[in-house]
């Protein structure tokens, strides 16, 4: 495995260190991988899409995440984007590593030793140009390194460029000391918003201290600002995830309904025609899409806004989304059956949605437990493993509902068929196939396991589709 020397830096992929003049420079793992990726592809101007595929291989992140990573690398290297010595921006394309004196050598595992200090060339300044109003606020504060960055952090950004400058200021303040920065914010009218930005950038700075939201007087306002900040940044990605999860739930419901209809028509003693299969497929697709829309919305939003406490956030988001979808479906189904057919069967929508959502969320959280930030986008076998874990969570939740006597789609259809004269979707033949005289507890449990597992797996497979 090679290591790379350039200017006064040594990058060792084997030891995963970036050293300058014998001193290690802290970088979070993803940013280290990005620098290595650009160096290894230094002959090319690397497209942003290729960077996402090569570095963010297991998650989907917004374009601003890449911009932030490049900004941090430039600050670490002492690079100037206006006159780059290391990382050049290729307009409307991507980035290229352009240092001309890079040397590639074998890495034998020995300690990294930088060239003598006398031979080190000077590096470009990493400072950015502060807006004029910020410069005016911090005039005469040259002895206070935090002052200009605090002023920028406490400003009110009105554009995307200004928001990026504010995030840059937060990262610099983390490097100068998180605890002291928080102390300096106490009592300021804009402290809540500034705390939210500090919390949002904490995971991008190696060695950054904690930014608590519980306890400070402005904690609730800061939490609200943090949710709004992350939701706005990830809105487009969340919309795409929601569509994928909804489609996955619909396809899973259609497949389950079609297979169930075939079994209902082909088992010995069945009276239902084959035409029941496409009918049940349509019903399953509608139910899967509706439930998938609720659960995937809750999962996507939770995944976009929660970095700390990701697992409980995913469970809570999926449960709330599932409960909302189930509650609406329950009301609409009761109104429809009562108004058109005079039926009032027991339908467990709200509770079923909450429980299935929580189970699917728990399975998805376990399957993507290696993800720290960003929207999980595993590939190949990893994606299949996530789908299986999510399906298992849905199946266990469905089992709990079955044991509690709360029906899912199949059980509800059976109740409706029993209450309707001439209906052909009663599931009694399936019970007899399993040795029960009617649609008994064994049949109900196995059907619920199949429904919950298929729904969870299909939703996860659609949710993790990588654009």
Statement to judge: residues 326 and 311 lie in one domain: yes
Interval 331-355 mean pLDDT: 80
Statement to judge: residues 179 and 269 lie in one domain: no
Q: Provide the pLDDT for residue 196.
A: 93
CB 433 within 8 A of CB 267: yes
Please, which pLDDT band fits residue 333 given cuts at 50, 70 and 90? confident
Statement to judge: residues 273 and 325 lie in one domain: yes
Q: Alpha-carbon distance 201 to 410, whole Å?
A: 47
CB 80 within 8 A of CB 126: yes
Q: Provide the pLDDT for residue 124.
A: 36
Of 232, 259, 276, the position where a domain reaches its end is 232
Q: Alpha-carbon distance 295 to 456, whole Å?
A: 10
Q: Is 140 domain-assigned? A: no
Statement to judge: residues 255 and 338 lie in one domain: yes
Please, which pLDDT band fits residue 131 given cuts at 50, 70 and 90? low
Output the DSSP codes for 50-97.
HHHHHHS-SEE--HHHHHHHHHHHHHHHT--TTS-SSEEEETTTEEEE
Statement to judge: residues 287 and 198 lie in one domain: no
Residue recorded with tokens 């487009």: 236
Q: Is 122 domain-assigned? A: no
Statement to judge: residues 177 and 60 lie in one domain: no
Output the DSSP codes for 131-178.
PHHHHHHTTT-TT-TTHHHHHHHTS---SHHHHHHHHHHHHHHHHH-H
Q: Is 130 domain-assigned? A: no
- pLDDT of 363 strictly over 80: yes
Q: Provide the pLDDT for residue 372.
A: 78
* Cβ density class 198-233: b for 16+ within 10 Å, e for less: bbbbbebbbebeebebeebebeebbbebbeebbeeb
pLDDT in tens, 279-328: 889 989 999 999 999 999 999 999 988 888 889 999 999 999 999 999 99
- pLDDT of 142 strictly over 60: no
Of 232, 256, 281, the position where a domain reaches its end is 232
Of 176, 198, 232, the position where a domain reaches its end is 232
- pLDDT of 275 strictly over 90: no
Statement to judge: residues 328 and 442 lie in one domain: yes
Q: Is 121 domain-assigned? A: no
Helices 276-305 & 409-419 angle (0-180, nearest 10): 140
The count of domains in the chain is: 3
- pLDDT of 82 strictly over 50: yes
Q: Domain range spanning residue 368?
A: 234-463
Q: Provide the pLDDT for residue 114.
A: 52
Statement to judge: residues 187 and 243 lie in one domain: no
Residue recorded with tokens 């994928």: 244
Statement to judge: residues 248 and 264 lie in one domain: yes
Interval 16-43 mean pLDDT: 92
How many whole angstroms from its chain centre is CA 130?
33
Which pair of structure tokens corresponds to residue 432?
Answer: 């007899």
Nearest to 367 by CA among 399, 390, 391, 342: 390
- pLDDT of 177 strictly over 80: yes
Statement to judge: residues 268 and 383 lie in one domain: yes
CATH number, domain with residue 69? 1.10.10.10
pLDDT in tens, 226-270: 988 888 888 888 898 999 999 999 999 999 999 988 888 887 777
Which pair of structure tokens corresponds to residue 76?
Answer: 């670490």
SS3 content of the chain, % helix, strand, coil (to 5): 60, 5, 35
Query: In this predicted model, which residue has the larger pLDDT, 424 or 30?
Result: 30
Statement to judge: residues 48 and 80 lie in one domain: yes
Q: Is the Cα torsion angle 398, 400, 401, 402 positive or negative in sign?
A: positive
Query: In this predicted model, which residue has the larger pLDDT, 267 or 400?
Result: 400
């Amino acid at each position: 495995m090679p290591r790379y020397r350039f200017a006064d830096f040594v990058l060792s992929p084997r030891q995963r260190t970036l050293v300058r003049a014998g001193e290690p420079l802290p970088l979070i793992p993803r940013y280290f991988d990005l620098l290595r990726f650009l160096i290894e592809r230094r002959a090319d101007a690397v497209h942003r899409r290729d960077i996402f595929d090569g570095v963010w291989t297991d998650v989907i992140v917004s374009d601003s995440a890449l911009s932030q990573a490049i900004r941090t690398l430039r600050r670490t290297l002492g690079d100037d984007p206006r006159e780059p010595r290391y990382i050049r921006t290729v307009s409307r394309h991507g980035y290229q590593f352009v240092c001309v004196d890079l040397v590639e050598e074998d890495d034998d595992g020995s300690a990294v030793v930088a060239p003598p200090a006398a031979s080190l060339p000077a590096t470009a300044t990493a400072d950015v140009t502060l807006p004029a109003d910020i410069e005016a606020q911090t005039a005469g504060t040259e002895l206070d390194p935090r002052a200009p960055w605090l002023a920028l952090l406490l400003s009110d950004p009105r554009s995307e460029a200004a928001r990026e400058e504010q995030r840059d200021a937060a990262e610099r303040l983390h490097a100068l000391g998180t605890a002291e920065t928080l102390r300096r914010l106490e009592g300021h009218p804009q402290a809540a918003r500034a705390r939210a930005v500090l919390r949002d950038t904490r995971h991008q700075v190696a060695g950054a201290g904690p930014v608590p939201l519980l306890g400070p007087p402005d904690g609730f306002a800061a939490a609200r600002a943090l949710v709004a900040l992350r939701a706005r940044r990830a809105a487009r990605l969340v919309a795409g995830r929601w569509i994928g999860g909804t489609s996955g739930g619909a396809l899973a419901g259609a497949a389950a309904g079609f297979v169930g209809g075939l079994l209902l028509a082909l088992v010995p003693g069945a009276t239902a025609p084959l035409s029941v299969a496409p009918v049940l497929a349509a019903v399953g697709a509608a139910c899967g899409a509706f439930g998938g829309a609720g659960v995937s919305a809750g999962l996507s939003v939770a995944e976009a806004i929660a970095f700390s406490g990701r697992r409980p956030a995913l469970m809570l988001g999926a449960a709330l989304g599932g409960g909302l979808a189930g509650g609406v479906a329950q009301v609409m189904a009761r109104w429809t059956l009562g108004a058109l057919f005079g039926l009032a069967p027991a339908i467990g929508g709200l509770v079923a949605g909450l429980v299935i959502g929580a189970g699917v969320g728990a399975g998805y959280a376990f399957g993507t437990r290696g993800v720290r930030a960003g929207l999980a986008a595993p590939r190949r076998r990893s994606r299949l493993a996530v789908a299986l874990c999510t399906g298992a969570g849905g199946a266990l939740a469905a089992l709990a509902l079955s044991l509690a006597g709360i029906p899912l789609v199949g059980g509800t259809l059976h109740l409706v068929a029993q209450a309707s004269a001439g209906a052909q979707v009663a599931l009694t033949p399936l019970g007899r196939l399993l040795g029960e005289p009617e649609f008994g507890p064994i049949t109900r449990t196995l059907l619920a396991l199949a429904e919950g597992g298929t729904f969870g797996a299909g939703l996860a497979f659609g949710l993790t589709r990588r654009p």
